[in-house]
Structure 1
Amino acid sequence: MSARVPLPRWVDIALLPLLNVVLAFLIGGIVVVMVGQNPLEAVGIMLYGAFGYGSGFGYTLYYTTDFIFAGLAVSLAYHAGLFNIGPEGQAYVAGLGVILVALGLNGQPWLITVPAMIVAGALFGAGWAFIPGYLQAKRGSHIVITTILFNFIAVSMMGYIISKILKPANVGSDESAPIDAVSRVPQLRLFWDLFKNSPVNISFFLALIALVAVYWLIWHSKFGFAMRALGHNPTAARYAGISNAKVIMITMALAGALAGMVAVNNVGGVQGRLILNFVSGAGFVGVAVAFMGKGHPIGVALSALLFGALYQGGQELAFSMPGITREMIVTIQALVILFTGAMGDMLRPPLERIFGPRAQARAGDV
């Protein structure tokens, strides 16, 4: 296997993912043509549904918020050489912490309850992610296997807790008691009419803060240096005096805390109660978001916005163009994941031939 040719950073982080998305949409367009629909019209409907009016844009930002948190949970661990597949379960368990605190403080102003929900969600998510981190650091269990299995454990455990413990006696569906409106995470529509009839709330700004915090942690902190050293070469990190086991456990706990913010967005804000499967696959989408964004917070933000637009635009497309079924929309979303994730480097060789010599020449000049 030939060694990779270095690419300019803007090509690697921006141009390559963009070309992958374009290729995915071209193939998706072929699928649309095969069922007798106009692909350009379909794209126009999706863009309008995602960005063309206030409510649709609000839904796009709501999905984007979840995907930012999940993508950061994967990206942070990846810089330490850990493949965290567990944001789905970590967010689900974090929902338990959010609802317990919210119901305990129910009726208090949101300025009191929301910070408490953030702390509780972070702690429960961190605790659930810490266990696979401990098993990797102390017992040698592979982080991919344990985080996948912990997703299944979280689903079963939370299903029992919601339906058998938290469900009020006078409620027919499997859900907890509701959070009073005054105690919930405020919706942006309360401050801005543009987002009326949409679920986006101030968790979106928490996601933006998380992007900045993760960037600082990875590239401008001592612990971030230890993480990256571990991710690049565990043996060298150990000889440099870094406790690899400690870094693994702390990194996984931080990743779980980030995933736990999905619960703040949904349980504390949108749903206002703890319901079954409220995460709805956002944790798994976070894996694609992280790899499409190359593990960089800016890339994560852009890819999360893309997937948020795909989710909201896809719903608009299914409503406005009945000839395109929900299954076809899922297929288009899957194509984006395929070309940006599993086949993300397919277009890299031609880009290396175009931009590689320039990058090598600049490196030689330096």
Structure 2
Amino acid sequence: MNKLIKQIFNPSALVTVLAVLASFIIGGLLIAFANENVQTAAGYLFARPADFFLAVWNSVFGAYDALFRGSIFNYKALDTIGMIKPLTETLSYATPITLAGLGMAVAFRSGLFNIGGTGQIIFGAMGAAWVGFSFDLPAYIHLPLAVFAGVVASALFGGFVGFLKAATGANEVIVTIMMNYIAGLLLFYVLTTPLFQAPGATNPISPEIVESAKYWRFMGDNFRINASFFVMLAMVATVWWLLNRSSVGFQFRALGHNPNAAKVAGINIGFNYILVMAISGALAGLAGTSQVLGAEKFLTPSVAASFGFDAITVALLGRSKPLGVLAAGILFGALRAGAVIMQANQKVPIDIVLIVQSLVVLFIAAPPLVRLMFGLRDPEKKSAKKAVKPESKGVAA
């Protein structure tokens, strides 16, 4: 069982790349099967097979070309803004996914399975939004204060899970899942109260965030990307330092490798459970602040979207390492940004992108399946055989 868990949460880099490749290959097959021209050509496949394979090629190439134009560079656009906007959309989507993914990575590296990213994003967004629309302060005070409120709210929300685990031994997987429901229902409720609901509104939505509390859109109002992108990059560097260079990170990693050995070494297990979950929640809360103070400008019931669950996939795909999480976050941001163009231009169901993301999770969680698909040997079996050979020779002698 422990071997399986290690395989899931620390696959080799090659298997990770091949898992993504396999997901796109299967996604391409699904795109072809769903295409009307391919279905028509399949009716006379044996009479004119070239038509069928050409239709398959056109459908798959057209879909992934639209994905590229919608997420990286739109070479068919008529102006510079249109050409570079897809990349800015990718980075805009990648910002909250990566921030939340960093939070999940901190927990995973510490041996805790935080499934509560959605709830922690919601609490971060609620704290930041309330400060953002309730006060009118100078920007150099208002924005940091709003971000601080969101981070503290989500850190307390996440730290409470760590406290329950430390005090009662509660399973953090079950608790964080339940906390997601609590956060979602609480958000919907507060958006119907005078404290959070916009005056005169009938739907659950907050007042607009005051301008002084919004993240700066450094490329102008034509682009959604904002200064929270730089906050995300700073957090990638900070988490890397925390996990790899700090004494706190050493304790986290020791906790993840063997809690009993860490306890014998004098590490306070209970306190570290609380600290890990608080930091994990704070990073997810930063994702919430990037949404409500940057991309959305309002607090709504859908503020967390699917970022909380995407973050789990991103942390797994990035092997719980900050730079890997950043790369995986950009990939998932590209999938989100390009899915709209795929659907609009090529009539590809947007669910195909969700299937590709789900396949990434499946293959990352099943390294033996990926090795079987690409004909790779299990490195552990190979090393085990090498270790056995000297023993057998000694016995024979």
Aligned residue for 2:210?
Answer: 180
Deviation digits for residues 295-336 of structure 1 (CA, Å, limit 9, x no counterpart):
0001101111111111111111001112x2223332233223
Q: Distance in 2 between matches of 1:50 and 1:13?
A: 27
2:177 to 137, 143, 148: 148
Aligned residue for 2:240?
Answer: 215
Describe the SS at the equivalent of 1:347.
helix
Aligned residue for 2:288?
Answer: 263
2:147 to 112, 115, 118: 118
- Asked if the contact 1:58/1:199 (under 8 Å) is kept, the reply is yes
Greater RCO (CA < 8 Å, at least 6 residues apart):
1
Deviation digits for residues 319-363 of structure 1 (CA, Å, limit 9, x no counterpart):
1112x22233322332233223x3245335725459966xx99xx
Deviation digits for residues 29-75 of structure 1 (CA, Å, limit 9, x no counterpart):
11112122521221111011100132211111011101111111110
Aligned residue for 1:34?
Answer: 33
- Asked if the contact 2:11/2:367 (under 8 Å) is kept, the reply is no
Q: Distance in 1 between matches of 2:254 and 2:205?
A: 44
Point out where structure 2 has 5 or more consecutive residues left out of the alignment.
39-55, 74-82, 388-397
Q: Distance in 1 between matches of 2:341 and 2:276?
A: 38
Deviation digits for residues 218-258 of structure 1 (CA, Å, limit 9, x no counterpart):
11111111111111111111111111000000110000000
Q: State TM-score, norm by structure 1.
A: 0.88
- Asked if the contact 2:92/2:229 (under 8 Å) is kept, the reply is yes
Q: Distance in 1 between matches of 2:167 and 2:11?
A: 35
Aligned residue for 1:244?
Answer: 269
- 2:140 matched to 1:97? no
- Asked if the contact 2:150/2:285 (under 8 Å) is kept, the reply is yes
Q: Distance in 1 between matches of 2:12 and 2:215?
A: 34
User: % of aligned pairs identical?
Assistant: 30
How far is 1:122 from its partner?
Answer: 0.9
- Asked if the contact 1:47/1:313 (under 8 Å) is kept, the reply is yes
Greater Rg over alpha carbons, structure: 2
Q: Distance in 2 between matches of 1:344 and 1:309?
A: 24
- 2:50 matched to 1:51? no
Counterpart residue identity of residue 347, structure 1? V
Task: Report the more deviating stretch, 268-277 or 209-218.
Answer: 268-277
Aligned residue for 1:67?
Answer: 97
How far is 1:21 from its partner?
Answer: 0.7
Aligned residue for 1:364?
Answer: none
Aligned residue for 1:282?
Answer: 307
Q: Distance in 1 between matches of 2:222 and 2:159?
A: 38
How far is 1:146 from its partner?
Answer: 0.2
Identify if the C-alpha distance between structure 1 residues 333 and 245 changes in structure 2 by more than 3 Å, giving closer, same or farther: same
Identify if the C-alpha distance between structure 1 residues 109 and 224 changes in structure 2 by more than 3 Å, giving closer, same or farther: same
- 2:38 matched to 1:17? no
Identify if the C-alpha distance between structure 1 residues 232 and 47 changes in structure 2 by more than 3 Å, giving closer, same or farther: same
- Asked if the contact 1:56/1:198 (under 8 Å) is kept, the reply is no
Q: Distance in 1 between matches of 2:241 and 2:134?
A: 34
1:312 to 337, 341, 352: 337
Identify if the C-alpha distance between structure 1 residues 3 and 255 changes in structure 2 by more than 3 Å, giving closer, same or farther: closer
Counterpart residue identity of residue 116, structure 1? L
Q: State TM-score, norm by structure 2.
A: 0.82
- Asked if the contact 1:50/1:309 (under 8 Å) is kept, the reply is yes
Q: Distance in 1 between matches of 2:187 and 2:286?
A: 17
Aligned residue for 1:329?
Answer: 353
Q: Distance in 2 between matches of 1:351 and 1:300?
A: 26
Q: Name the Cα RMSD after superposition.
A: 2.4
Describe the SS at the equivalent of 2:297.
coil
How far is 1:112 from its partner?
Answer: 2.1
Q: Distance in 1 between matches of 2:216 and 2:122?
A: 21
Q: Distance in 2 between matches of 1:215 and 1:186?
A: 26
Describe the SS at the equivalent of 1:346.
helix
Aligned residue for 1:193?
Answer: none
- Asked if the contact 1:58/1:198 (under 8 Å) is kept, the reply is yes
Describe the SS at the equivalent of 1:43.
helix
Aligned residue pairs total 347
Aligned residue for 1:162?
Answer: 191
